[in-house]
Structures are given as C-alpha cells and as structure tokens.
Chains A and B, each alone.
Chain A
Amino acid sequence: EPEVTQTPSHQVTQMGQEVILRCVPISNHLYFYWYRQILGQKVEFLVSFYNNEISEKSEIFDDQFSVERPDGSNFTLKIRSTKLEDSAMYFCASSDWTSAYEQYFGPGTRLTVT
C-alpha cells in the first residue's frame, strides 16, 4: 500500500540553525500539508500546498518557515532559524481528489532544538 515517508525520523539541532524536513508524498497525490504536534499537545495545521504554491497557512507559519517541492517527488519544510519552541513532531500529509479528502499522514519527524 502506498504511504507517505518522512526523513529523518529524528533531528537534533541547535537554536538558530536551519533545518530541512523532508517528505515523499504518495506519488499520484496533488495536495500536500505540514502539521506539527508539540509534545503532549494536539496536532496543529501549518500549511497546505497545491500546484506549486501555498494554499493556506496558519499563524504559526511565519517568515521563518518555508515549503518547497523541489522535484516531482519531495516536499520539504524549512525552518530558517530554529527556536526552542520549534521542538515538536512534524507530520507531512498528502491527499488526492479521489480519496474523498482523506489525508494520508507520514510517520513524522521529531525535531529537538537545543
């Protein structure tokens, strides 16, 4: 069964450093998303992406964040200058019209900012 994959599974970085989280969505999907989950809290929407541009972004998704689909398979989330409060689990998701708006989630990348 096709699945969304994410790398790395765990990323440790120092405050102020740039990180890039990578996702490979399901191959025929057209809509891509990033969510995050701070430890012990609910999953929060960050951004949605379609046709090579951002469809919607949350208040969390400020100028420190960016997304890109650099090629036909990867979807990346970049945090330019990480803060301690960016420590969270980051989930990528993808969906397609034919899946009745069901978003398929990847296993997540745990980002730890020290």
Chain B
Amino acid sequence: AQSVTQLGSHVSVSEGALVLLRCNYSSSVPPYLFWYVQYPNQGLQLLLKYTSAATLVKGINGFEAEFKKSETSFHLTKPSAHMSDAAEYFCAVSGQDRDDKIIFGKGTRLHILP
C-alpha cells in the first residue's frame, strides 16, 4: 500500500524567501515520487519526478526536491519565491509497474506575501 502525507494545508512565504513544502511517503515497494502544481481553475502540471536515479531532482520554475529514503521524505524547495508560485502543490507516489496508479497527497496551498 502507498500513501502520501503533506504537512500543512496552507503555507505562506514572503516574496524572495525560501519555499519549503513537506512531503512524507509510505510505500511497500520502491517508489516513484512526484510533485504536481495546480494553478487556479487549471489542470495538473508535473513539476518534477524521482525515478530511482539522482536523489536530488531539479524541476521546472526553479523547484527541486530531495529523496531521502531514511526519512521517507520528498520535500519540495525553491530558494526564492515569486508571486507566480502561488498555487496548490500536490506530492504523489506510485509504484514502478508500467500502469501503476498515482496516489496523491491532500495538497498544500502556497501563498506568496508581497
């Protein structure tokens, strides 16, 4: 069984400050891990993914995440927040079979303060 826990349903950071969105996962099989972003009234856009290669993964828009097996974590960071980063962020996990479903966390809404 797989699950994802995102700590904090809402996170507020000042523009230019560090963004840190926390995600812990549980998986009985080696996981693939993802972060998706959803802007208001839009679909899901993949930010980055971990697929058993490098543990530090770089994605679009300056985001990155580090897979830490010992901590079962996959936290998302960005050094300097921009107003355009305001959105809902979903951490997700899947198995490594071809047609494995993706299990999403409940999401964290990121607010950027001017």
B51 CB to nearest chain A CB (Å): 5
Chain A interface residue bracket vs B: 20 to 34
Contact A43 B96 (CB under 8 A): no
- In the bound complex, CA of A7 to CA of B106 (Å): 26
The tally of residues in B whose CB lies under 8 Å from a CB in A reads 24
A108 contacts which of B43, B46, B98, B99 (Cβ < 8 Å)? Answer: B43
* Of B44, B45, B94, B107, the contact of A101 (CB 8 Å cutoff): B94
How many A-B pairs have beta carbons closer than 8 Å: the answer is 59
Write the B29-68 contact mask toward A (1 if CB under 8 angstroms, else 0): 0001010100000111110010100000000000000000
Question: Interface 1/0s, chain A 19-51, versus B by CB < 8 A?
Answer: 000000000000101010000011111001010
In the bound complex, how far is the Cα of B43 from the Cα of A50, in angstroms?
23
The answer to whether A42 touches B43, judged by C-beta atoms less than 8 angstroms apart, is: no
Given A43-B44, A43-B92, A107-B42, 5 extra CB contacts under 8 A: A48-B101, A101-B51, A101-B96, A102-B49, A103-B102
Interface residues of B (CB under 8 A from A): 32, 34, 36, 42-46, 49, 51, 90, 92, 94, 96, 98-107
